[in-house]
Amino acid sequence: MTVPVSLPRAVILDLDDTLFDDTGCTHAGLRALAEAHDVRTEPGELFRRHAARIREIDPLLFRGEVTAHGARVLRFTRLLGDLGVSDPDGEAATRIYREAYRAAWALLDGAEVLLRGLRAQGLRTAVLTNYVREVQFEKLRHFDLHQLVDAVLCTEDVPAPKPDARAYHAACAALNVTPAEAVMVGDSWENDVQGARAAGLRAVWINAAGRAAPDPAVPQCRTLADLPALLA
């Protein structure tokens, strides 16, 4: 469904699986890890188990109890244990995964063109992401995306992560706009649509898989190339 929204003053974008192909990179890292340990788990199941370990360990990272590297080592130690690998070496697993993950780094189609186009239109832009700056800013710098947005807000920069209203309000404050003047764009229905709308922003859902929308009235697009038409 492509229902246009009125022209905003600011566009706030999620990072992972909105601008950056995190799912593709994660699958690449997990394939390398599985091959190194002769793990025969189906890729979709391996991805789900990995995601579950992220959800379990990330709160430790956000509370400052482990570093980003320490969180990875713990994650892969536990994941390999789940998969039946005896006495797993989390440090070695982290190196294997990270090498393949980074080698696969890619933006989603149209990401750079979109940001340049928004800037050319005079719109203020920000990235609002639910992860730590050490990790997320490395991705942005790699593709020089940090130079194409006016603000980058990671978990350290907001009072609480999405979908807490304070996250979106912090992004609006960084751009000097009101919530009503901003549009949140992202792939997560909960974090980028529901939370943003509850905080007084408009939202556009990046629905690459073409899933049924919980609320068909919300503007959505399958690719970033379709987004400008919704904002025009």
> For 182-226, how does the pLDDT look when each residue is reduced to its tens digit (9 = 90+)?
999 999 999 999 999 999 999 999 999 999 999 999 999 999 999
- pLDDT for res 231: 85
What CATH number matches the domain at 23-103, 1.10.490, 3.40.1350, 1.25.40, 1.10.150?
1.10.150
* Predicted confidence (pLDDT) per residue in 1-56, tens digit: 444 445 799 999 999 999 999 999 999 999 999 999 999 999 999 999 999 999 99
- pLDDT for res 2: 46
Give the Cα separation of 18 and 205 in Å (integer).
10
* Predicted confidence (pLDDT) per residue in 139-177, tens digit: 999 999 999 999 999 999 999 999 999 999 999 999 999
In contact, 13 and 153? CB cutoff 8 Å: no
- Residue 152 gets the label, from left (phi > 0), alpha (psi -120 to 50) or beta, of beta
What fold does the segment set 10-21+106-231 form as a domain? Rossmann fold (3.40.50)
Q: How many residues does the chain have?
A: 232
State the average pLDDT over residues 105-120.
97
- pLDDT for res 4: 46
The segment(s) of the chain belonging to CATH 3.40.50.1000 are 10-21+106-231
* pLDDT more than 70, % of the chain: 97
- Which residue, among 180, 160, 184, has the nearest Cα to 170 in the 3D structure? 160
DSSP state of 206: E
Give the Cα separation of 205 and 140 in Å (integer).
21
Threshold 0.85, pTM exceeds: yes
State the average pLDDT over residues 122-133.
97
- pLDDT for res 68: 95
State the average pLDDT over residues 92-116.
98
The segment(s) of the chain belonging to CATH 1.10.150 are 23-103
- pLDDT for res 1: 42
